[in-house]
Amino acid sequence: MDTNSKTPRDISEIWDDIRPFRDDEIPAAMQRIATDPDFPKVMSYIYEGQDVETKIKAFSNFKTVSQFQIDFMFDAINAIIRKTTTGFTYDGLEHLEKGKGYLFVSNHRDILLDAALLQIALYNCGLDCSEITFGDNLMQPGIVSDFGKSNRMFKVVRRGTTKDFFKTSMHLSSYIRYVLNERNTSVWIAQRNGRTKDGDDKTSQTVLKMFSLSGDRNIGTNFSALNIVPMAISYEWETCITQKVRELYLSQEHPYIKEKDEDFRSIMEGILSPKGKVHIQICEPITAEELLNAGSMDRNEALAYIASVIDNRIYSGYKLFNTNYIAFDMLYNTFKFTDKYTKEEYKHFADVMHATLSRWKESLLPLMNLYLKVYSNPVVNKLSLE
C-alpha cells in the first residue's frame, strides 16, 4: 500500500486529524517509541532470551509503515499467539481478492487483538494488511498512539455535541470510503462502539448510519460500494472477562464510569491473559443482490435489514468452544451439549469462574450469571439461526 500517494486533494489536508502515519512520519515515531521508558519491557516480552538492545537499535532505524509491520508488529503478535494461546486458526480468506478493498465489519471482544490477529491472517495468505479503526479515547499522545498510527490505525471520534458528532461521522465515513474505493485498501471496524461485554454480538445501526453518510443516496447501492465482509472472532477463554463482568454488574443501576487508565489496563490484560484457542472466520461478502431489497425500504428499515444480514453471518461463522457449551448448560440447567465437553473440562471451567469471581463473595450469584452469559450468548445466537 502506498501511504505517500497523492490525490487532487492531498489526504494530509483532508483527513490529517484522523489518518494513520505516512511513511515519512515513521522515523520520528520510531524514535519516540524507542526512547519511551517502558519500551524495553515490551521488547523483552517479544524477544525473550534475545539481545534486546540490538533489537531496539534496529527498531529505531525503521523507515516505512510496511517495514515496521513486517519486521516488528508481526513478531509482536506472533509472540502473543505463542505465549497466550493454544492455537490460532482462520478460514474464509478464499472469499477475498488481492488488490481489492473490503470493509471488515467484525464482532469485537479485545481492544487490540481482534484486528491485529486479522493482519496476521491476511499477511500469511499473501493479502494486503488493512487499515484499522481506533477510538479517540486510546489515541492520546504517547506510545500507544504512536504504535497505533504506525500500524495503519485511524482515529474514530466518539465525543462531542450532536452537531459535532454528525460532522465527525461524516468525516470518518468519507475517509473510509476513500480508503476502500480510491486506494483499494481494506478497513477493519467493529460492528458497534466498544467491545461486546455480554457475548451478544449485534451490529449497531449507529455504525451503519455513519457508513451511509457518504456515497450514493440510494442505500442499496451505497452499501454495495463498501464491499462489506462480516468477520467473526472467537476466543475459547474470553479476554478481560473480569472487567467485562464487573462493568455489566455496576452498570445495572448506574451509568458506568471508567477508571483512569482503564482502557490501557484492558489492552495489557488482553495481551497477557491466556486465551486458549482463537479462531477468525472471514464470512462471505455481502452481495449487491442481497442489498437490492434495502434500496426499496425506508432508511431505518434498510439499516435494520443490513444489520441482520451482518449479524447472521457473524453468528454462523462464530466458532463455539467447549467453554461456550459448558456455560450454556450451566446457565440454563440443561444437559443439551454434554457431548461437546468432558467432565474434566466442565470442572475446570467452573473452577476458573469461581476463582475469577471469588473476590466479590457478596455478589457471587448475579456475577456468575453475567459471566455465564458472556460465554453462552454465542450459543443462543447460533441456535437462533436454526
| Residue 203: CATH number of its domain | 3.40.1130
Residues in the chain, overall count: 386
Question: What per-residue confidence (pLDDT) applies to 10?
Answer: 59
CA distances from 251 to 159, 344, 358, 377, 378 (A): 20, 34, 20, 19, 22
- The reply to whether 15 falls in a domain is no
Rounded percentage of the chain residues whose pLDDT exceeds 90: 81
Residues 180 and 295 in one domain: yes
Number of H helices, E strands in the chain: 18, 7
Q: Which residues contact 272 (CB under 8 A, 6 or more apart)?
A: 84
Instruction: Say how many CA atoms lie within 13 Å of 200 toward its Cβ.
Output: 9
Domain identity same for 332 and 302: no
> Within a domain: residue 105?
yes
User: For 208-246, how does the pLDDT look when each residue is reduced to its tens digit (9 = 90+)?
Assistant: 999 999 999 899 999 999 999 999 999 999 999 999 999
**pLDDT (tens digit, 9 = 90+) per residue, 259-316?**
877 888 898 999 999 999 999 999 999 999 999 888 889 999 999 999 999 999 999 9
Among 311, 336, 355, the domain boundary falls at 311
Is 243 found in the same domain as 302? yes
- Has residue 349 been placed in a domain? yes
Angle (nearest 5°) at CA 19 between 15 and 21? 130
Kindly state whether residues 268 and 303 are assigned to the same domain.
yes
160 domain-assigned:
yes
pTM of the model: 0.93
Mean pLDDT of 308-327: 98
- Are 375 and 271 in the same domain? no
233 and 380 part of one domain: no
Residue 4's pLDDT band, with cuts at 50, 70 and 90, is: very low
pLDDT computed for residue 11 by the predictor: 54
Q: What is the residue type of 248?
A: L
Instruction: Assess whether 351 and 211 both reside in one domain.
Output: no
Could you tell me the pLDDT band of residue 7, with boundaries at 50, 70 and 90?
A: very low
Residue 12, classed as helix, strand or coil, is: helix
Same domain, 253 and 359: no
Q: Is residue 213 part of a domain?
A: yes
Residue 79 included in any domain = no
Cell of 96: 477475498
Mean of pLDDT over the chain = 93
How far is Cα of residue 141 from the mean position of the Cα atoms in its chain?
Answer: 21
Burial group, residue 51, by CB count within 10 angstroms (0-12, 13-18, 19+) = exposed
Cα-based angle 286, 290, 291 (whole degrees, multiple of 5): 90
| Domain hosting residue 363, numbered range | 323-384
Domain shared by 264 and 352, yes or no: no
Same domain, 196 and 255: yes
Name the residue with higher pLDDT: 160 or 297. 297
Least confident of 167-176, 294-303, 335-344: 294-303
Asked whether residue 282 is assigned to any structural domain, the reply reads yes
What does residue 59 show for φ and ψ, rounded to 5 degrees?
Answer: -60, -40
pLDDT band at 8 (very low <50, low <70, confident <90, very high): very low
CA distances from residue 152 to 70, 77, 255, 319, 385 in whole angstroms, order as listed: 12, 15, 33, 28, 35
Query: Total domain count for the chain?
Result: 2
Whether residues 355 and 221 fall in one domain: no
258 lies in some domain: yes
Same domain, 132 and 199: yes
pLDDT higher than threshold 90 for residue 174:
yes
